[in-house]
Structure 1
Amino acid sequence: MNRPPETQRLFFALWPGAEIREQATQIAQRMLGKRGKCVRSENLHLTLVFLGSTTEQQRACAEAVADTIEGTAFALRLEQIGYWSRPRVVWLAPRETPQPLIELVQQLNQGLTACGYQPEARPYRAHMTLARKVAGYFPAREVAPLACPVEHFYLVRSVSYPGGVEYQVLRSWPLAQ
């Protein structure tokens, strides 16, 4: 009997420094109180491309694609809080997505098609999920900007445990200065 190949749940992401993640956590806690479940500081990130359940062969292909990316470093200003009612999520995002970030996502999506990955049909929306299961309406608002230098992008593994989810950075790629 053939067993299906083992998979890992993977995604490419931006991984802000600990100070930015802690500031984002404080913003979420201050604004939400007990209205939702805040994402743990160590898990805060901005997803670039979600790969989902990935075999070793697909992972190797995705890493080879990432090796070819010619992105440039940029500054990301996280300054807008918003709410998506359907998944009941509060997020932190830039007011405008920087062009180098759009190009990075486009390069990844384009390259990953050779690995069998189907890019999302909807346009990319850079955001950091701050809280889930948020009760009631949460109005959008501006916050003091968090300046986040982006010099690398990362391949991350999502591992589920009874107590929650842990994200493990597997590999990183530098962006040109």
Structure 2
Amino acid sequence: MATSSTTTPQSTRLFLALWPDAAVREQLRAWRELWNWPRGASPVHTDKLHMTLHFLGNQPAESLPAPLDGLAVPFTPFRLQLGVAELWHNGIAVLSPQDTPQQLLDLHTALSGALPGVGLQPEQRPYRPHVTMARRAKGVAVPQNGPVIDWAVDHYTLVESKTGDGSGYTVLREYR
């Protein structure tokens, strides 16, 4: 087994997210099916649909216990109504809230304040709450009407994103 300078430290790719339950995930899937995806588009698999709060990037695996414990912030449950379909300039198709609840913005802000305490820095770009429905969707006809998804948000999650053979998302912790 290789050791010392030839070994690459193990890292894990992390993000904080609102993670829908099965009923909301099914409603998101139904919304995704309303789009007529162009050739080459990559719709997000149903089990990966979520709303990112903070992307944390690659982090050393050995530092994982600190983020797990240090990201519990005061949280007030809220209702989130999704129903605005958009295609962003970079070919990302999203479903956004009709109105952004103050409790969502408060949660985002509280997590921004907690990140430095576990050695992480929040992203500097403005927060745009959305669920990514597909990537590489340039040219898609954006559906104008679809059902409003009424999501009762009562928790947020710390999620690991695995690429390659271990492809997928693993919820590491739920925070209520």
Between 1:152-161 and 1:139-148, the stretch displaced more is: 139-148
Residue 75 of structure 1: aligned partner: 79
Contact 2:92 2:138 (C-alpha < 8 Å) held by counterparts: no
Identity across aligned pairs (percent)? Answer: 34
1:79-113 CA-to-partner distances (Å, cap 9, x unmatched) read: 11111122x11001102211111111111111111
Question: Could you list the runs of 5+ residues in structure 2 that have no partner in the other structure?
Answer: none
For 1:84 and 1:140, how far apart are their aligned partners in 2?
A: 14
Between 1:7-16 and 1:137-146, the stretch displaced more is: 137-146
Residue 173 of structure 1: aligned partner: 175
For 2:143 and 2:30, how far apart are their aligned partners in 1?
A: 17
Residue 101 of structure 1: aligned partner: 104
Contact 2:95 2:133 (C-alpha < 8 Å) held by counterparts: yes
Q: Please report how far the alpha carbon of residue 26 of structure 1 lies from its aligned counterpart in structure 2 after TM superposition.
A: 2.0
Map 1:16-165; keep pairs closer than 5 Å: 16-35=20-39, 36-67=41-72, 69-86=73-90, 88-136=91-139, 138-139=141-142, 141=144, 143-161=146-164, 165=167
SS at match of 1:136: coil
Q: Please report how far the alpha carbon of residue 65 of structure 1 lies from its aligned counterpart in structure 2 after TM superposition.
A: 2.1
TM-score by length of structure 2 reads 0.87
Contact 1:83 1:140 (C-alpha < 8 Å) held by counterparts: no
TM-score by length of structure 1 reads 0.87
Question: Could you list the runs of 5+ residues in structure 1 that have no partner in the other structure?
Answer: none
Change (3 A) 1:115 1:25: same
SS at match of 1:143: coil
Change (3 A) 1:51 1:58: farther
For 2:88 and 2:138, how far apart are their aligned partners in 1?
A: 11
Change (3 A) 1:138 1:122: farther
Change (3 A) 1:138 1:120: farther
1:6-63 CA-to-partner distances (Å, cap 9, x unmatched) read: 1111111111111221221222222224452211100000011111111235422222
For 1:140 and 1:120, how far apart are their aligned partners in 2?
A: 30
Contact 1:65 1:108 (C-alpha < 8 Å) held by counterparts: no
Between 1:135-144 and 1:15-24, the stretch displaced more is: 135-144
For the aligned residue pairs, the C-alpha RMSD in angstroms reads 2.0
SS at match of 1:124: coil
Residue type of the alignment partner of 1:72: T
For 1:50 and 1:33, how far apart are their aligned partners in 2?
A: 26
For 1:142 and 1:125, how far apart are their aligned partners in 2?
A: 21
